[in-house]
Chains A and B, each alone.
Chain A
Amino acid sequence: MINAWYLYLFFSAALILAGLLCLLTKRNLIRLFIGIMVIGKGLSLLLVSTGFARANILLAQALVVTFIVVEVSLVAAALALIINIYRTTGSLDVRKLTRLKG
């Protein structure tokens, strides 16, 4: 059981790094948000697999359900922000957000 845990650990580390690399290198706002979602997938895989390896699956499931609810309201608020940014600046480029505009 513990040996299988390292397999899940390997894959969740790969997912989290893919999301971090996306956040560091991409410029499109929607693409950056996809990176955040990939990091979230890695984290929920980590939670459930740790619960599975330690025979504590019910608690892990409760935590993942809470995490998914938080993720949904985060997505709704952030996508509304992205649409507002697009209406204000006419672009989805993060570099244009550094310009101060009053």
Chain B
Amino acid sequence: MIVQTALLVGLVLFSVLAIVLRDLLKAAISLAVASLLLGIVFFRMNAPYAGVFEISVVAGLITVLFILTIALTNAGEEVRESRIVRWVFPLFFLAFIVIDALVMKGLLQKIPALPSAPEIGTFGDVLWKGRTLDLVGQIAVILAGVFAVLALFRKRDKHD
């Protein structure tokens, strides 16, 4: 439990760093570290497939896409953030953490645990037989993403 809590604290810490750090490249890398920690948390919760997807896709592919975008738009550093934000963000975040902790402590054991049937079969059974429609939706979403990127990067006509 202590290791799991340490991993979760690291996850929140690196996510906040990704938001607060001024250098966008460092922010993207700390987001990748946060994904890596989340993947390890999934592995420790007996969810290896979700962990593998989180580490390989979110920590790998999405970080590469972010770094590519930062390299293609190198004027991103010129955007001025307002000065109040530097104080507002940590202040609100710390206040929320305190409220969050108090609420969770108050809720402890007040929500009744609903009965749930234990699962049978393997991950493949649940994914392919139980959530077949989700897979069709995933194929549609991937195709929609591919067509969106193709439409956004198409060559301009000469008349434009």
- A69 to nearest B CB, angstroms? 5
A59 to B70, CA, bound (A): 36
B3 at the interface (CB under 8 A from A): no
> B122-155: which have CB < 8 Å to A?
122-123, 126-127, 130-131, 134, 137-138, 141-142, 144-146, 148-149, 152-153
A35 to B31, CA, bound (A): 10
Contact assessment for B116 and A56 in the assembled complex, using a CB-CB cutoff below 8 Å: yes
A78 to B136, CA, bound (A): 22
A96 to B143, CA, bound (A): 31
Knowing A30-B24, A30-B69, A57-B45, say if A22 contacts B126 (CB, 8 Å).
Answer: no
Contact assessment for B93 and A10 in the assembled complex, using a CB-CB cutoff below 8 Å: no
Chain A interface residue count, Cβ-Cβ cutoff 8 angstroms: 69
A72 at the interface (CB under 8 A from B): yes
A38 to B57, CA, bound (A): 15
Knowing A38-B19, A92-B75, say if A77 contacts B47 (CB, 8 Å).
Answer: no
Contact assessment for B45 and A26 in the assembled complex, using a CB-CB cutoff below 8 Å: no
Enumerate chain B residues within 8 angstroms of A65, measured Cβ to Cβ. 49-50, 53, 127
Enumerate chain A residues within 8 angstroms of B34, measured Cβ to Cβ. 38, 41
Knowing A11-B11, A92-B79, say if A72 contacts B61 (CB, 8 Å).
Answer: yes
> B47-93: which have CB < 8 Å to A?
47, 49-50, 53-54, 57-58, 61-62, 65-66, 68-70, 72-73, 75-76, 78-82, 85, 88-89, 92-93
A58 to B47, CA, bound (A): 8
Enumerate chain B residues within 8 angstroms of A41, measured Cβ to Cβ. 11, 15, 34-35, 38
Knowing A62-B123, A73-B141, say if A48 contacts B104 (CB, 8 Å).
Answer: no
Which 4 A-B residue pairs are closest in the complex by CB-CB distance?
A73-B145, A77-B148, A80-B152, A58-B126
A residues with CB within 8 A of B:
2-4, 6-11, 13-15, 17-19, 21-22, 25-31, 34-35, 37-38, 41, 44-45, 48-49, 51-52, 54-66, 68-77, 79-84, 86, 90-93
New contact pairs (19) apart from A4-B1, A61-B127, CB-CB < 8 Å: A13-B100, A14-B97, A18-B12, A19-B19, A25-B81, A25-B82, A31-B27, A34-B18, A38-B18, A45-B38, A61-B123, A64-B54, A71-B58, A71-B62, A75-B65, A76-B65, A77-B148, A83-B73, A93-B79
